[in-house]
Amino acid sequence: MTKGLVDFHCHLDLYPDFAEAVSKAEAAGIYTLTVTTTPQAWPRNRDLTKPSRYVRAALGLHPQLVAERADEISLFEKYVGDTRYIGEVGLDASPRFYHSIDLQKQVFERVLRCCAEAGNKILTIHSVRSAKAVLDMIEHTLSPDRGKIVLHWFTGSAAEARRATAMGCYFSVNATMAASERGKALVESLPFGRLLTETDGPFTKIDGRPTQPSDVSTTVDLIAKIRGQNSVEVAMGIQENLRQLVGTP
């Protein structure tokens, strides 16, 4: 059973048939947040998801693309009023992208300032090898009364996870993350009320194929196993966490 499950971070516009991917998530009744990697992709994401009950689109500028797409921050600022959801944004200090880290910080600060000015935003944030810098920038720029933070596929330290929790952040977990020893430790240690599920499809795989929102049931089962709960209890709890995050019945 998939109805009512939550996939709070995926990239439906990167599947071979975007419209079909949205339709499948909608038909399955999965609360799905499809993120964008560039503001240029936003209008189509907005238009395809607008009629949906279960699928929402987020406006993003992926840190891994900032070196080539930094000038699109002006487009981001133009479109930010179209949606409550922001993502994928953040920082990536891994070796492949470290050369652009200063530019990433400039863009991310503009994203945060823009969200602070607009208010009532929910951000799904990338923080590879940069959790401290991401948390510092959030703390300095986006107060909890102006926006809410979900740390996507968090790989920071236990101390950074505790800091993020104290700041009011949520954490979205996928099956690949929850299968690693470090990921298991994080899932076990976090307050259950701060957990959400995600697939990060199509960048994760199951049975050799790209994941899709319906595969988030695998993550629910993993969380249940790690925390010694049953899957139905976990699924219902994640749905309640989503309600708390977005502030709707």
Contact 217, 2 (CB under 8 A): yes
Residue-level pLDDT at 249: 45
9 is in an annotated binding site: yes
Residue 109: count other Cβ atoms within 10 Å of its Cβ.
15
Q: Give the per-residue pLDDT at 41.
A: 97
CA 7 to chain centre: 9
According to DSSP H, which parts of the chain are helical?
A: 18-28, 42-49, 66-69, 73-79, 101-118, 131-141, 158-166, 175-179, 181-189, 216-227, 231-246
For residue 34, what pLDDT is reported? 98
Question: Which superfamily is assigned to 6-246 in CATH?
Answer: Metal-dependent hydrolases (3.20.20.140)
Q: Does 200 appear as a known binding residue? A: yes
Which tokens is 116 given? 């602070």
Nearest Cα to 187, choosing from 212, 151, 215, 211?
151
On whether 62 is known to bind a ligand per the annotation, the reply is: no
How many residues are given for the chain?
249
Give Cα separations from 132 to 91, 139, 150, 196, 232 (angstroms).
10, 10, 15, 21, 34
* Predicted pLDDT at 3: 87
Tens-digit pLDDT profile for the chain (249 aa)?
578 999 999 999 999 999 999 999 999 999 999 999 999 999 999 999 999 999 999 999 999 999 999 999 999 999 999 999 999 999 999 999 999 999 999 999 999 999 999 999 999 999 999 999 999 999 999 999 999 999 999 999 999 999 999 999 999 999 999 999 999 999 999 999 999 999 999 999 999 999 999 999 999 999 999 999 999 999 999 999 999 999 964
Q: Return the half-sphere exposure (C-beta side, CA atoms, 13 A cut-off) of residue 142.
A: 28
* The pLDDT of residue 1: 59
Under DSSP, is residue 153 helix (H, G, I), strand (E, B) or coil? coil
Check the annotation: does 140 bind a ligand: no
pTM greater than 0.85: yes
Find tokens 């492949």 and name the residue.
96
Q: What are phi and psi of 239, to 5 degrees?
A: -65, -40
Q: Which residues contact 217 (CB under 8 A, 6 or more apart)?
A: 1, 2, 5, 231, 235
